Amino acid sequence: MEISGKLDELERSLEEIERKMSDPSIGANPSDLQRLGKKHSEIVGVVNTYREYRKTLSRLEDARGLLHSGDPELNELAREEMNELEPRLEKLESELRILLLPKDPNDEKSVIVEIRAGTGGDEAALFAGDLFRMYSLFSENNGWKIEFLTSNETGIGGFREVVFKVDGHGAYSQLKFESGVHRVQRVPVTESSGRIHTSTATVAVLPEAEDVDIDIRQEDLRIDTYRASGAGGQHVNMTDSAVRITHLPSGIVVTCQDERSQLKNRVKAMNFLKAKLYDMEIREQQQKMAAERKGQVGTGDRSERIRTYNFPQNRVTDHRIGLTLYRLDSMMEGNLQEMISALVMADQSEKMRSMEG
């Protein structure tokens, strides 16, 4: 295996980290111990898989050595063991190649999700509401917490726009491929003739930015407050608690009105702004790295139509990887894992091809 040199190096690094972690002088320094612990957790899985690979390879070579022993019974046992070990070895090698792929530094982060109704009027707003519910249920299934930032509701239960945070370890790694245009085909509840309508909603998934990720100068901000209001007079606040922040250099505007406290809304709006600026920075870097973009599922363009939801046929199709599932009803109940796993695998395959090319 041509990657064994890299794996041997990682094994030596792990042994050195473990030696340092057991050193009492290092144990007395919490920051050093934390740094070593982080490195240890990053590579221990790869090294353990590599050790299992070596052990399996050794057993396979022993079995091959017995194949021509001259003893028919022993030959049969060797063949049985080879039939068991060869696919196991192949699977471990494939796992190791995936584990060695460059990691997305944002994968472990929480995310901020924006869903906006596109073409289709009220039906598009209802679809935006359906997508919000789908992501909420998926997040709940994963033990992640949903936190509203802002929303613009319609009187019939949909959203012209909804922005929320999904707070949970690894949320970005699971949701990052959801950015783009989602198209729905169905008969609206208001349609008396039974005609199928096509509507769209746009989803943007932004990794949460930490203070070390993005630096915002106070003089670049304009902060306005206003009175929050909801559809049909719901959730109306009698004080100017809603917050609008404009980042003057980029022109990005964010709002937050979910909390009754102006201070809480301001904190949430700042986090949203940081995420948008960080996302903009990431996209600029990606555009400069043409070779890197070849190893991505889809173009990453927010205007790209990524998926079609056909309700009459209970069908959902992801156009980037050509996957069609006839379980749309289940997906809308938050059972997204099959689709997301297929997207992750396709992304890994693209990255592996890019590295080999």
* Chain segment 1-56, per-residue pLDDT in tens: 567 788 888 999 999 998 888 888 876 778 888 888 888 888 898 999 999 999 99
| pLDDT band at 182; cut points 50, 70, 90 | very high
Cβ-Cβ contacts under 8 Å for 247 (sequence gap 6 or more):
216, 220, 221, 253, 273, 277
Q: Which of the pair, 62 or 68, is modelled with greater confidence?
A: 62
Q: Which of 177, 197, 176 has the alpha carbon at shortest distance from 186?
A: 197
The predicted pLDDT at position 290 comes to 46
Q: Which of 126, 170, 153, 105 has the alpha carbon at shortest distance from 337?
A: 170
Q: Domain 108-208+300-357 belongs to what topology?
A: Alpha-Beta Plaits (3.30.70)
Question: pLDDT tens digit string along 255-266?
Answer: 988 778 888 889
What's the rounded mean pLDDT across residues 279-299? 61
Q: Which of the pair, 27 or 113, is modelled with greater confidence?
A: 113
> Full-prediction pTM beyond 0.75?
no
Fold matches, 108-208+300-357 and 211-288 = no
Beta bridge partners of 209: none
- Phi/psi class of residue 200: alpha, beta or left (left: φ > 0; alpha: ψ in -120 to 50)? beta
Let me know how many helices (H) and strands (E) the chain has, helices first: 10, 11
What's the rounded mean pLDDT across residues 161-166? 93
Cβ-Cβ contacts under 8 Å for 6 (sequence gap 6 or more):
100
| pLDDT band at 291; cut points 50, 70, 90 | very low
Cα of 75 vs its chain's centroid, Å: 49
Give me the CATH code for the 211-288 domain, please.
3.30.160.20
Q: Which of the pair, 109 or 353, is modelled with greater confidence?
A: 109
Domain spans of the chain, in order of start: 4-99, 108-208+300-357, 211-288
The predicted pLDDT at position 234 comes to 42
Question: pLDDT tens digit string along 85-112?
Answer: 999 999 998 888 888 877 778 888 899 9
Read out DSSP for 274-293?
HHHHHHHHHHHHHHH-HHHH
- Position of tokens 């003739």? 193
Q: Which two tokens stand for residue 302?
A: 């927010």
What's the rounded mean pLDDT across residues 255-278? 87
Average model confidence (pLDDT) across the chain: 85
The predicted pLDDT at position 285 comes to 67
8 Å CB contact between 142 and 174:
yes
Q: Which of the pair, 354 or 172, is modelled with greater confidence?
A: 172
Q: Is the pLDDT of residue 323 over 50?
A: yes
The predicted pLDDT at position 288 comes to 60
Question: pLDDT tens digit string along 209-244?
Answer: 876 667 788 889 999 988 776 543 344 445 578 899
Q: Which CATH architecture has domain 4-99?
A: Up-down Bundle (1.20)
Beta bridge partners of 315: 310
How far CA 218 is from CA of 244, 248, 250, 254, in Å, comes to 14, 10, 14, 15
